[in-house]
Chains A and B, each alone.
Chain A
């Protein structure tokens, strides 16, 4: 158990809908990272927050957004969902930021029908 929690574990929804994925980092960690893992693309970095502020952006679509709250938990919002958004979404956390070991949560499996 890495200490990173994610909810929900599974999510099934329809195209065009909007969902919110939630992540709680390990106790004491200030950075949260979001990744998408699909069969076609492997593990892709989406976005990083550090102590409430956006720190780095990867291949995140404009339909996706994220935020980190004062208690350091983070939410990833996915809107106007498409079939191709079906994937595993992982959250990771680290103590500070760049160069620190990232510990991953168990993931949320999103299925868009």
Chain B
């Protein structure tokens, strides 16, 4: 698997700009997806979720887009703030019994002043 700490893809954005973090998921039958934010030294924190019967869902300053055709998920953060600096993980939920969420390798978001 990919390294979380040393070799994460990194996205650097200017404070106030919009951020787009992408995720490719693996199972075309997955029916539920979550974005988590993990700050240094803390546990993953739920941001927003989306079910497979939707293409888009909006929260406060965040939007998740789901493209089932190409198995792609994206997280858009509006007006990025320094507090948004963290590692962002997508997670997919395969529908088969006994399977649990599969987490992507993560993307490190760095907000520049």
Binding site for B on A (CB under 8 A): 2, 4, 33, 37-45, 48, 55-56, 58, 90, 92, 98-99, 101-107
Give Cα distance in the complex from A56 to B49, angstroms: 22
Contact for B98 among A55, A99, A107, CB less than 8 A:
A55
Does any Cβ of A come within 8 Å of B63's Cβ? no
Are B100 and A48 in contact, CB atoms less than 8 angstroms apart? yes
Question: Chain B's interface: helix, strand, loop or mixed, by majority?
Answer: loop
Are B46 and A40 in contact, CB atoms less than 8 angstroms apart? no
Are A39 and B42 in contact, CB atoms less than 8 angstroms apart? no
Contact for A101 among B5, B46, B99, B100, CB less than 8 A:
B46
Are A40 and B42 in contact, CB atoms less than 8 angstroms apart? no
Give Cα distance in the complex from A92 to B2, angstroms: 22
Binding site for A on B (CB under 8 A): 1-6, 31-32, 34, 36, 42-46, 49, 89, 93, 95, 97-103, 105-106
Are B93 and A42 in contact, CB atoms less than 8 angstroms apart? no
Contacts known (A39-B6, A43-B4, A101-B34); A58 close to B100, Cβ less than 8 A? yes
Cβ–Cβ < 8 Å partners of B4 in chain A: 37-39, 41-43
Contact for B43 among A41, A45, A107, CB less than 8 A:
A107
Contacts known (A56-B98, A98-B93); A42 close to B1, Cβ less than 8 A? yes
Please name 27 pairs of A and B residues whose Cβ atoms are closer than 8 Å in the assembled complex, sorted by A.
A2-B45, A33-B100, A39-B5, A39-B6, A40-B1, A40-B3, A42-B2, A42-B4, A42-B105, A43-B89, A43-B103, A43-B106, A44-B1, A45-B101, A45-B102, A45-B103, A55-B98, A92-B43, A99-B32, A99-B93, A102-B34, A102-B46, A104-B43, A104-B44, A104-B45, A105-B43, A106-B43
